[in-house]
Structure 1
């Protein structure tokens, strides 16, 4: 009988988790008679802003865009229900691209590169516009050879942090930087009108690039990217273990280096994204091949290149790391968090297993994970392109990318490009996790709070019942009995691993379940 009850609880818990399948609330397809791609996305509470590139003719909402030469870039605005508001176009006769867009306090910031400099060279820009699409100011960064901005962040005082890479010479705000080899890294702090406050340079003789930047509540800066051979960050030089390794560097708001970490191995590794949740946990995503070392920990890829996800504390100590992958080349694209979960945008090049489910073919996924790294759910959004994502304060997730060159699966829907190439898309995804409430209440007979919790939870019950706590795999962790009549109990959960738990209430006539987060 005891085993039967545990089986019922296990099935109920698993059904509860699986019932939260993510779904596409809406999706908009933008394209024309050539390849079109979504490149970055940002949101405020009511609107979503998406950038991309297009060639020749492109239809976005009710607007027809025609490129000025090669690829032009665009920024579009939709409301949170998917209604088109406006689109703006930028570009010249060469290849132009926005690499990141960011909403900040009623301003839209864009950075990227353009090709109308000298033959074979690129320059980059930083642009500020209002939420109606009117440009407030634009800065063109000058230099020789090629250079571009790749990552943006802002602080509570609306200062802007911009990072990218350059070769040869870069002039920015009265500062002149000279690369030590191929590409070097720069990071600069600007005020809200684009005036440069300080600039830092890092790199060595190889190709060194920055890919992502984030800030903590104290306005410390965390920058990640990759380097080859040796790279110097102020007074510290690091050496790669393989062809290309990962770096994470922390600066204070004055640009002074606090610490520097690296990770890498024999086949190379690259970081794609870095972000911090509201609890001050630092998450890093990227790809690696072969055996790769993260401090004293190591990973071995399943095939040629796997994706990984790692969590650090703000002192740079690795807390956990995990990897997933196929036997082909897999790619990591983006990483965002809300109050309870991580959303990891990635692409698998071949057959992959997630939570005992085998995914076949090339698939682009948005994976939902707990802060402990447990996979909660995932949804396919195409198969051949790396998607970018953003999330607002209400945990609405928005994604942009590209579909094609053949019909692609988006959730349960198959979409086809407008011609035999790629179309851009923008989508809103509902993961159905808004049921993570401040307390878990069962039919007014039992209440568990706070939720999420880190050390203790309080259980109140006025019903004769058995309360069970199971992990996401359905394993029974703890079980408590209550007699009829109001009673309260404080439970120590400090030894529980962080993650998502299922709480069940079993009375004489029913079994109910809810979700609880342990931080």
Structure 2
């Protein structure tokens, strides 16, 4: 998946203040049974692809899918305007011997440069028909098994493969990415031994502890290429992968105690990362296109929890990671660049920048939930390395000068945050409603539009804009939503677009804002908006060309005169 991903405060300000912000498009999918959307990706034409699972029945516009087991997979394609082009089912074969307890759970999705669709996940012991079309392609296992399915851009079956451990052990496939050749990279975790047969023989990896990290590569035609394993004697989890066009892969997740990330054949010592006893560590790993170890960085450690759930990579050998932690998260420990953040006895989300060139953490910022927990789940970056992160919060959310309060009666609301590559937050938005966290995928398309997918329960407002309400109601337990935010809806708060003849001072300002102009401004109407586009102050410029803003809270605002589309940024002290 493009985990550019790959949870959340975003300054979605007006491009034209006289026009309310709205979603570019939105969709509501589902039926009376359970529906959960787990992953999203886009192609070079800005079509959107999603995957997840459903119960007995689900619907995508006028396309109805029927399941054959307890949970069944779905794969969809939506055009750049939000119209559903196709939807496919991944389930057990319809051969008259239906197991009502059998499940197929897709976990992630990636689209290559030719629009081919790669879906990864797992299925229960028994048979799985990996061909969602008229034919069959049966994958069978006596244990829990992981799978890769490749479809063409129209949803037609191309090939599939599966692999798993030697016993029904602790294992899962977490994420998938593709390079410019269409080669496929997957990550996850496993216990025991995984063996993959191929024309040259059989390749195997064996875990050192309860679970180890794996990374596999397959050619675009499904031919196995290589496998990589890392870990120690405790829990080690591969959670997310992002792949560059040249085939470098970046992975994040969790390790505990001491984990080995590189073992040479001879001559030098193994490369390990370690935590304080009983702590959890957050790692970022880089492999080259041949599976050779390049670097492993300890992003941080914390006592009760510390895990990277999503990773996105820029063109400068930097990775951006989101996730959540409990306790005090310490980064760059024992160096002059050491810093820490404190979750205050609950779980908090974070966003971190990892510098693979200098092998350290550039910065790590907390998404603060106050007395309650926040979970970070998705991340992606645009062409300017602007960061978009998503997740869930259960009471309040604070990033920088911005605070959100949960608006629903459910356990969690969803969030979206925006920040620059230096780690500076520029706002936050909330949407959705649910009682359990599972996934909050986000991706950025080729035109820097933001696509967000997720699940909700009962009634929820899925618009992140204060100026818009989009209420949707689930047909059953949980339904899915999918929406697009146009790139021109996202204004960097550093931008002003007033005519050069107009100046404001002082800025930052505490009480009185002065306006200098070549034209008289007395009796001009003005409006001051907050970063969410909400009108905070209106009035008429006085005879001294001044506006009193002393009663406004500290933070960023925008000044608009006479309902113009022009604006000036204000920083209130």
TM-score bucket (shorter structure):
0.7 to 0.9
**Cα separation, 2, equivalents of 1:77 and 1:364:** 24
**Cα separation, 1, equivalents of 2:421 and 2:190:** 35
Superposed displacement of residue 424, structure 1: 1.6
Q: Which residue of 2 aligns with 1:254?
A: 290
Inter-CA distance 121–48: structure 2 relative to 1 (3 Å threshold):
same
* Residue among 274, 280, 291 paired with 1:239: 274
Inter-CA distance 123–350: structure 2 relative to 1 (3 Å threshold):
same
Question: Greater CA deviation, 374-383 or 295-304?
Answer: 374-383
Q: Which residue of 1 aligns with 2:442?
A: 389
CA deviations on 1:350-369 (whole Å, 9 max, x unpaired) are: 22334343413631111122
Q: Which residue of 2 aligns with 1:353?
A: 398
Cα pair 1:467 1:503 within 8 Å, conserved: no
Q: Which residue of 2 aligns with 1:414?
A: 471
Superposed displacement of residue 468, structure 1: 8.2
Question: Any unmatched runs of 5+ in structure 1?
Answer: 1-12, 447-462, 476-480, 484-500
Q: Which residue of 2 aligns with 1:90?
A: 90
CA RMSD of aligned residues (A): 3.6
Q: Which residue of 1 aligns with 2:33?
A: 34
Superposed displacement of residue 255, structure 1: 1.9
* Residue among 357, 363, 370 paired with 1:320: 363
Inter-CA distance 503–277: structure 2 relative to 1 (3 Å threshold):
farther
Superposed displacement of residue 287, structure 1: 0.4
Superposed displacement of residue 119, structure 1: 9.8
Cα pair 1:42 1:49 within 8 Å, conserved: yes
Instruction: Give TM-score, length-normalised by structure 2.
Output: 0.72
Superposed displacement of residue 328, structure 1: 2.2
Cα pair 2:404 2:428 within 8 Å, conserved: no
Q: Which residue of 1 aligns with 2:528?
A: none
CA deviations on 1:265-300 (whole Å, 9 max, x unpaired) are: 221201111111345532111101111111122110
CA deviations on 1:105-159 (whole Å, 9 max, x unpaired) are: 1211111111134999421111111110001111112432243321212222222
Superposed displacement of residue 338, structure 1: 0.7
Inter-CA distance 119–195: structure 2 relative to 1 (3 Å threshold):
closer
Cα pair 1:129 1:135 within 8 Å, conserved: yes
Cα pair 1:17 1:376 within 8 Å, conserved: no
**Cα separation, 2, equivalents of 1:84 and 1:96:** 22
Q: Which residue of 1 aligns with 2:174?
A: 150
**Cα separation, 2, equivalents of 1:201 and 1:325:** 35
Higher relative contact order (CA 8 A, sep 6+): 2
Q: Would you say 1:204 and 2:246 are equivalent positions?
A: no
Matched position secondary structure for 1:290: strand
Superposed displacement of residue 72, structure 1: 0.3
Q: Which residue of 1 aligns with 2:137?
A: none
Inter-CA distance 29–229: structure 2 relative to 1 (3 Å threshold):
same
Instruction: Give TM-score, length-normalised by structure 1.
Output: 0.79
Superposed displacement of residue 504, structure 1: 10
Question: Any unmatched runs of 5+ in structure 2?
Answer: 1-10, 93-98, 127-139, 263-269, 333-337, 464-468, 511-515, 519-555
**Cα separation, 2, equivalents of 1:14 and 1:336:** 16
Q: Would you say 1:127 and 2:149 are equivalent positions?
A: yes
* Residue among 304, 307, 310 paired with 1:270: 307
Cα pair 2:301 2:331 within 8 Å, conserved: yes
**Cα separation, 1, equivalents of 2:302 and 2:158:** 45
CA deviations on 1:301-353 (whole Å, 9 max, x unpaired) are: 14410000111223232222110223223211110111232110111122233
Q: Which residue of 1 aligns with 2:413?
A: 363
**Cα separation, 1, equivalents of 2:506 and 2:162:** 57
Cα pair 2:14 2:20 within 8 Å, conserved: no
Inter-CA distance 216–103: structure 2 relative to 1 (3 Å threshold):
closer
Q: Which residue of 2 aligns with 1:63?
A: 63
Q: Which residue of 2 aligns with 1:195?
A: 223
Q: Would you say 1:281 and 2:318 are equivalent positions?
A: yes
Cα pair 1:302 1:325 within 8 Å, conserved: no
**Cα separation, 1, equivalents of 2:291 and 2:81:** 40
- Listed as ranges, the matches of 1:104-183 within 5 Å are 104-105=112-113, 106-117=115-126, 121-144=143-166, 145-146=168-169, 147-172=171-196, 173=198, 174-183=202-211
Superposed displacement of residue 199, structure 1: 1.1
Inter-CA distance 14–36: structure 2 relative to 1 (3 Å threshold):
closer
Inter-CA distance 503–96: structure 2 relative to 1 (3 Å threshold):
same
- Listed as ranges, the matches of 1:205-220 within 5 Å are 205-216=233-244, 219-220=247-248
Cα pair 2:217 2:225 within 8 Å, conserved: yes
Inter-CA distance 433–468: structure 2 relative to 1 (3 Å threshold):
farther
**Cα separation, 2, equivalents of 1:88 and 1:231:** 40
**Cα separation, 1, equivalents of 2:292 and 2:21:** 42
Matched position secondary structure for 2:40: strand
* Residue among 111, 127, 131 paired with 1:103: 111
Superposed displacement of residue 71, structure 1: 0.2
Inter-CA distance 48–313: structure 2 relative to 1 (3 Å threshold):
same
Superposed displacement of residue 74, structure 1: 0.3
**Cα separation, 1, equivalents of 2:175 and 2:20:** 32
Question: Greater CA deviation, 352-361 or 190-199?
Answer: 352-361
